[in-house]
Amino acid sequence: MRQSGTNLPKVGRYNRAVVMDQIQLADGISRVEIAEHTGLTPQTVSGIVRRLLDEGIVWEDGASRASHGGKPRTTLRLNPDAGRAIGLHFDPVELTCALVDLLGRPLAVRKRPTPSGTDPSHVVAAMTELVAEVRASAGVPHEEVLGLGLATPGPIDLEQGVIVTPPQLAHWSRVPVRRMLSDATGLPVTLDNDATAAAVGERWSGAGKGVANFAYFFFGTGIGGGLILNHQVYRGGSFNAGEFGHSAVLPDGPECYCGNRGCLERLINPSAIVTEVHRRLAARSGGSVLSQAFGQDPASVDHAAVQRAAADGDPVAAAVIDEAAQHVASVAVSVANFIDVDLIVLGGHGIHHVESRYVEAVAAALATRPLSRNIRVTEVEASLLGTDAAVVGAAALVLHATYSPQLSALLAD
């Protein structure tokens, strides 16, 4: 068995990242508080902070605040302008690109349809144009961009930077997208699956900020998951952990492309939800505001129309969404039982307009069904990043890789 050790320069870099993480997660923090939270000596914290100030990554707040009537303490904050990153969300239907500041706030966002052709190089060309457009519209020079983060559907081979035959992308078989995109844009590219990227974004600037253990359910064209455990991104042995969408919720349910039966994703992906609403409208079960539109043109009752109708309380659409939310709740209970997370975050464009229906169903299940509920109830929240979760997360991949304390960085190569 090989196990890596560490050495002093790596410890120094790690401590610097730990200090920066404290500054990033807090809305203003003093040197004393950093030392208290991290267990580092005040001298070590002061030395690291001095270098971060010299490099312009951190600011000292002019306003000092007194603590318990004692000596005023200077507050430290991240300088939002100290770094820029670009995120790209590769969805089979749409490409979204955002340029964010060091706080993860989008300065410019652009979208375009994903080219439908068979050649991955056409998609990479479209991505490259979109990156240039976003950079130009934000007015940020190329050399000020730390890197490009790409969030893609899984499965991926993270070590090789390769997308491995994703289910909704015919013709994508082991495409070396990281190298192609890096060659085309001249930027270093960080790749991850869309759900992990969204979880990293939520850790950087969303509902998961400062939460030690949380699971992220990402609702896109499919349903993915991301895990942050003990403040670290958990990727698993082949970098494909957290496939909550392939948890079987109906043992004899329909076969899924993964080889399993009755998977969550198979039952509640956007097209499955639309199919079920169409079936009920065709059977004329219950009055629905969608009935007339369905009679004139069934295609007009698409996923967005179903979500909007459900949000407005339409009985047919709401019933289908609430049944979907019950399936999500069952998987959330399993995640709470298996991993004992503090928080479950629900996000992605797939639950746009109906986030609260999903949150309510999952909250009710988490309060009554996990074994650990009498010790503390796992919380659930909708993503603060909304429909931009994956693209902001993609950009946060770069910030996270550059600035967050990662145990892997401690280990000798």
Residue ranges in contact with Zn ion by CB under 5 A:
246, 256, 258, 260, 263
Our CB check for Zn ion shows the closer of 75 and 196 to be 196
Q: How far is the CB of 168 from Zn ion (least distance, A)?
A: 13
- Tell me whether residue 196 or residue 383 sits nearer to Zn ion (CB atom): 196
Q: Please, what is the minimum distance in Å from the beta carbon of residue 375 to Zn ion?
A: 32
What is d(CA 53, CA 68) in angstroms, rounded to the nearest whole number? 26
CB of 396 to Zn ion, least distance (A): 27
d(CA 133, CA 127): 10
Residues whose CB is less than 8 angstroms from the CB of residue 68 and which lie 6 or more positions away in sequence, other chains included: none
Nearest to 342 by CA among 202, 147, 139: 202
Q: Which is nearer to Zn ion, 263 or 325 (CB)?
A: 263
Q: Kind of pairing, strands 223-229 and 232-233?
A: antiparallel
- Residue nearer to Zn ion on the CB measure, 240 or 260: 260
- 32: Cα within 13 Å, side-chain hemisphere: 9
- Ramachandran quadrant class, 373 (left: phi over 0; alpha: psi -120 to 50; beta: rest): alpha
User: Which string of DSSP letters, residue by residue, matches 51-87?
Assistant: HHHHTTSEEE-SS-EESTTSSEE--EEE-GGG-EEEE
Rounded least distance, CB 257 to Zn ion, Å: 7
| Shorter beta-carbon distance to Zn ion: residue 260 or 337 | 260
* Minimum CB distance to Zn ion, residue 405 (Å): 34
Query: 273 or 316, CB closer to Zn ion?
Result: 273
Please name every residue paired with 4 in a beta bridge, in sequence order, or none if there are none.
Answer: none
Q: Which is nearer to Zn ion, 203 or 266 (CB)?
A: 266
- Asked whether 28 and 103 are in contact (CB, 8 A), the reply is no
Is 101 exposed, middle or buried (CB count within 10 Å of its CB: 0-12, 13-18, 19+)? buried
Determine the Cα–Cα distance for residues 50 and 58; give it in Å rounded to an integer: 9
